[in-house]
Structure 1
Amino acid sequence: MDCTNSKSVLKKLSVALIMFMFLTLTQGYQISFADSVALTNSNTVTVEAHFTTEKIRDGFYTSLVVNYNILDRSNIKPGDKIIIKLPDVCRDIKPIYKTEHFSNCTVNGDTVTLTFGPNINEGVQGYFTLYMYGNSNIKNNQNYEATVTIGNKVVKANIEGVAVDGGDSYPDMYKVFGTNFPVNNLGEGIIVDRNKPVPYTIVVNRGRKNLGTMNLKDTIPNGMALDTSSLKIYEVSPNNNYTDVTNLYLNSGRVNMNYKHLQIYFDPGNMYMVDYNTFVTSTESKYNNTATMTDYYGNVQGQAVAILGSGAGAINVYKTVDKKNIGNFGNQNIIYHIKFDSFGTFLKGTMHIQDKINPKLTDIKVTGTNQFTVKYDSATKTLDAVNDKSTIEPGDNAEITINASMKNVKPGETITNTAQVNGGDTNTVHTTKNPLIQLSKVGIDNPNHLLSGAEFEVINADNNERVSNIVTEKGNTNILITSDKPIKFELPYGNYKLVEIKAPNGYALNTKPIDFSVNANSTIINLTAKDNPTGNIKIIKTNDLKEPLQGAKFNLVKDGKVIKTGETDKEGILEFNNIEVGDYKIVEVSAPKGYEISKDTSVKVNKDQTSLVNIVDKNILGNLNITKIGNDGAKLSGAEFTVEGPNGYKQVVTTDKAGVATLNNIPWGTYTVRETKAPIGYE
């Protein structure tokens, strides 16, 4: 036989379709109806089972309610089973359970097996009901036992058998439930589905006595409403023929009714039957529907008591947090929710919640939906809540909300939170504060002094792309500019390079990247970028006469590497500015024409100072020979020549007897030779 889950039996808003276990124990019943035993399965789950009636009779309705409370969800897994063995005097067994907790249910004879499904991981509490009728094998005063087994633990519930009594004595008016509506051995109607109508029948003057005019007043109980369209009035003949006289009575004004009241004036001497339906509008422990008939002889009352059946229910609870990661800047608030998904009716006072808030969280504010009273002890940072204001019905929005700030939580630290519901833990949620990166810019000469004005970019080392969304205290940026305080910023997990693109004044650009990583283990990442201070070099290039020389080309060399190159201007000056402090060589690679390349010069650069270097180039000297010959080829002596050259050079020379005039060791350059006196006899 297949089981019935509550999605098919309890449709739509099966909000209070069935009462939670405590209803049957505390609201209108006595424990003596059935022995009830609870089991605790190694602090994993507690189970309680009881029959809802004291006795079982042939053809009468009863039910077994099984309640379970999960204390440790880690030890209950999908596929675990609950096995119920019913007495062999039960028939027409109909389980009502929730698929939110159970994936399968089977009935094999008098054995019912329910299998936990995947959602049990969020389960906290639940209940299910096995409806049944007694069969003809029931023996009077005999005790019958049901067992509920989970794992190696067993719960027992007992019920007493009783024989059915006869008798056929009826009062002048009595009230019963409609045909096929289930009742227990106390005559109480069992409301299995609160979304379906509850039918009532009132029998008036079954003995057909002369009672005079009969005035029937029926008051609809709290939690129910009369369906006025369902009213039917029948006149019953001695041959049990039924005549519908509803319209006759309505049109003659003999019926007054609204959703809470029904009054009918009957003709004397006849038997009547009144049928109507009510709907359940709210959860009550009992629905006492009482009718009173006044006739010639006085008053007579008829009462029909209905109760909500236990049915099935499941409630899941889970913890959420709105942020898994949170930054170090701006709003650092998080919101916890303890959410209840109810698939049954859970009465007031049955959900107890406690939540110990991490002591590092501040600015705690707690609220709850209208089912809960929520209290918060700021000294112990403990939340206590209970649904003492109202029942939690299926589909209700039921939750506890906790607002908190993580401003006092350290970078990279993870805050966890687990609530307890009825002694069992919810799932655990985590929020991690982002790692914080701190960049300090210092000079090598003074590492305790932070430098302003340096600019950096961050490169993603995995794809070599520039990071454009660096999160800082002042917002997102793609350039980090140092100040007299460390720069604080955040980056997603990854590998990075910090590259200096502008050095502060008085310091040299450090082109070597700083490699760093941000990962789940990071807390505060301190980066220190160091720059060398700088000075200047001024080269003054002259000749032996201290005259400035333009066009001399120099390399500035450090540790064998050319750092900079330059050329002297017309004033013989070349400057190398913002050079890292240290020892350098000045190497002349090209001298002005007519000058020798000077030897390498060593120079030391000091912070914020200009090192002067005077370099003198020597002239390249040569000889000039002037030969004077006549037209006949004879070499002529006594010819006088004026020689003019670079830098105002001027000399007068005379040829010797070999016709030669010589100028030795004169500077390199271009000269003009002009004959200023011819030899004797020549022009």
Structure 2
Amino acid sequence: MQKKIVASLIVVLILLIFGGFTEKAQASPVSANGWQLKWAIKNSDFEDVDIENYGHNAGSPNVWMVDQAGVAAWGTENPSGKIEVWQAGNGYNVPPFSGTNFIELNSDGIGPVYQDIRTIPGTVLTWKFAHRGRSGMDVADLLIGSPETQTEVSRVSDDNTAWGDYEGDYVVPPGQTITRLTFNPISTASGSLTNGNFLDNVELYINIEGAKIGDIAWYDYNGDGIQQNNEAPAPNVKVDLIDDNGTVTKSTMTNDIGSYLFTDVLPGDYQVKFTLPNNDYIFSKANQGNNPEINSKVDSTGLADVNIPTLRTENFDVDAGLTTNGKVEIQKLSGQKALRDAVYSIKDSTGTEVTKVTTAENGFGTAEGLPPGNYTATEITAPIGYQKNPRPKSFTIVYGNTDPVKLTFQNIEKMGAIMIFKQDGATKKGLENAIFTVETENGKVIKKVTSNAKGYALASNLPPGTYIVKETDAPEGYEKSNKEMRVTIPFNPQGPVNVTFSDTKIKVTPTPTPSGTDGNSTDGIIIKEVDKNVKTKKGNLPQTGDSINKNVLFGGALLATAGIALMYRRNN
């Protein structure tokens, strides 16, 4: 710490030598370790004016009557709602105090103008403004206070020869988070209520000591990490300033407008840590959008890194968005059975994965810390033995609802298959066109398949369980197998269950020729008709080239021999 103090004093000495504290655009010195920081006033010298859409000429070159909506940040109590804007090169040769534009308080009526700013109770504000008369000595005053009640803090008088430059201090009272500055015309040299009291270069500074860090905490209704006008400040949020040794050097609470301020900060590296009010809140996404002035800076733990290079450093851009803690609860079932180890990817509306959910033994898995928005949950890993459910489910997280969004996914078991091989029992060659049925144990047929040219038939898409396989039709020329095979497909099947059926060829018995088919016989010998148009003569043998069945000839010869033997025995 001593090294930091010495380094800080050296920085101050260098800045004093080279006039570093004279940069009025940023600050002006009030002590050896502090300065005035420009604070809150917008459109301070009336340069932001929309004459084209809200103004009309007041009867003199470069003098305009402008509706108060066309003068950024300023309002008027003039009954007409007009603010009279003068520009350089006007017909009266009145120069601006700064820039190009200035205004006249005595407009087309008595036209007090005012601006409301956010303030931190207890702080000291330094105000500055320039005033000038139009035709002679004009008188105006500055009133400061709440929007409901202001008190005069300065009354000034100036003629038309030069601008008067004024400043003073104002202590913001306790509880006053909105402060109004009103510039009111008192009198004019001409006595006219519509001519006099020029005003320009209204500035406001906050007097602080040392380097400073600050900004606001707010409730991020849509969870996008970017401040919108309809999003309310978050008061009573604890904020700590932590040095590079991990020591909390300062602590504060955000005020009624969500603001906090650390002053008298020595140069060095720090972390600003916000603490959530309770578990119903999370921090918004950090560094979203293209405008760093309105986005949240802290990470999901509420920390933001800050570097303070010099005592004159001011960092009013360490803010924090708070949004509600959205949750999703996923239930994984197969029928009524809870399933564990199903893994889901949770993606936001941009398609970015924000978290994963894994179901536990009871079938439930939960993710939290989801800001408001639209999401999808997609199963990326199924439980062992079950088919992955490919269809994502969409859901929405709504601000303020901290109850989990509930999703249920149903899965079915992995399907198995039975590979049937039909073969010739002798040659083991696959047989085509055998038909098989696959039945449940209670006899219900659920599959009917036919073997292909290689003898294979596949019954697929079968849930785990026990089945009966039967052959109902055999290939042509084969006997149908009467075998019934019980096949069990296991839980989490890794491939088809193989079974083999073997068939045998049908045996063909020769058919004998019927007796007397042609009406010709001799002594019991049957001669088969060879040709319908040509018959052999009774008792003659077939001629060479005749088509006679050899079996018939052989049988006939045996009968003839037997007959001759019988006759011989009778004669003896």
- Give the TM-score band, short-chain normalised: 0.3 to 0.5
Identify, as 1 or 2, the structure richer in strand. Answer: 1
For normalisation by structure 2, the TM-score amounts to 0.35
Taking structure 1 as the reference length, the TM-score comes to: 0.30
